[in-house]
Amino acid sequence: DSGVTQTPKHLITATGQRVTLRCSPRSGDLSVYWYQQSLDQGLQFLIQYYNGEERAKGNILERFSAQQFPDLHSELNLSSLELGDSALYFCASSERGHNEQFFGPGTRLTVL
Amino acid sequence: GQNIDQPTEMTATEGAIVQINCTYQTSGFNGLFWYQQHAGEAPTFLSYNVLDGLEEKGRFSSFLSRSKGYSYLLLKELQMKDSASYLCAVREGYGGGYNKLIFGAGTRLAVHP
């Protein structure tokens, strides 16, 4: 158990819908990261927040957005969902911006 | 651009030694990580190299050559539970807490009796 929690574990929804994935980092960690892992693309970095501010951005779609709240938990919002958005979404956290990242158990999103 | 290459699959025998190679071309290199990932589970941290040389951690060792853009993960005394995917990841770091990891596609290792 890494200490990073993610909810929900599984999510099934339809195309065109919007969902919110939630992540609570390890106690004391200021940085939160979001990754997408689909079968054909491996683990893709989406975005990093550090103490509430966006720090680094990957190839995150405009339909996706994220934020980190004052209590340091983070949410990833996915809208206008498409079949291709079906994937495992991982959240990770680290103490600061440069340390190793600890991954949560992931949210498996299925878009039908 | 960013490019990280690792073999797709490897097989090895229980008790043996296996070396998983990773080559990379990235900008702003600031360290290389190895993660282990069992199917459907979260990646777990194995090792970190930022300077050239070998880092040893129990049955696992990792090597880095920054001039060659090359790293390897060495697993000794293989056990069946080592069957997993091994992910090489390069960190781009530009300071100010910026910490972007670029992952390779992973190497699926199968350990057989």
pLDDT digits (tens, 9 = 90+) for B14-27: 999 999 999 999 87
pLDDT of residue A98: 61
Please state, as a whole number, how many other Cβ atoms lie within 10 Å of the Cβ of residue A4.
24
Which residues in chain B touch residue A88, judged by CB atoms under 8 angstroms apart? 40
pLDDT of residue B33: 95
Distance CA A104, CA B87 (A): 16
pLDDT digit string, tens, across residues A12-44: 999 999 999 999 999 999 999 999 999 877 899
User: Does B95 have pLDDT greater than 90?
Assistant: no
pLDDT of residue A100: 86
Mean pLDDT of the A59-80 span = 96
CB of A26 less than 8 A from some CB of B: no
Mean pLDDT of the A72-97 span = 94
pLDDT digit string, tens, across residues B29-45: 889 999 999 998 999 99
Distance CA B28, CA B38 (A): 29
The three-class DSSP label of residue B70 is strand
Residue A91 in tokens:
């959240």
* Cβ separation A43–B43 shorter than 8 A: yes
Which residues in chain B touch residue A98, judged by CB atoms under 8 angstroms apart? 30-31, 91, 93, 97, 99
Residues 55-84 of B with CB under 8 A from A: none
pLDDT of residue A97: 58
pLDDT of residue B30: 86
Q: Is A98 exposed, middle or buried (0-12, 13-18, 19+ CB in 10 A)?
A: middle
User: Which among B44, B101, B106 has the least Cβ separation from residue A45?
Assistant: B101
pLDDT of residue A10: 97
Interior angle at CA B75, CA B69 and CA B80, nearest 5: 135
The three-class DSSP label of residue B18 is strand
Residue A74 in tokens:
């983070």
Under the phi-then-psi rule, with left for phi > 0, alpha for psi from -120 to 50, and beta for the rest, what region is B83? beta
Distance CA B106, CA B29 (A): 19
Task: Work out the minimum CA distance from A38 to partner chain B, whole angstroms.
Answer: 11
Say if strands B3-5 and B18-25 run parallel, antiparallel, or are unpaired.
antiparallel
User: Does B60 have pLDDT greater than 80?
Assistant: yes
* Cβ separation B48–A96 shorter than 8 A: no
pLDDT of residue B100: 86
Ranges assigned E (strand) in B6-112: 9-13, 18-25, 29-37, 44-49, 53-57, 60-65, 70-75, 84-92, 100-103, 107-112
Mean pLDDT of the B5-20 span = 97
Distance CA B67, CA A34 (A): 30
**Across all residues in chain A, what is the average pLDDT?**
94
CB of B41 less than 8 A from some CB of A: yes
* Cβ separation B97–A97 shorter than 8 A: yes
Phi and psi at A81, nearest 5°, equal -60, 145
pLDDT of residue B76: 97
| Percentage of chain A lying above the pLDDT 90 cut | 85
| Percentage of chain A lying above the pLDDT 70 cut | 98
pLDDT of residue B99: 78
Nearest to A56, CA basis, from B91, B35, B31:
B91
CB of B93 less than 8 A from some CB of A: yes
CB of A100 less than 8 A from some CB of B: yes
CB of A55 less than 8 A from some CB of B: yes
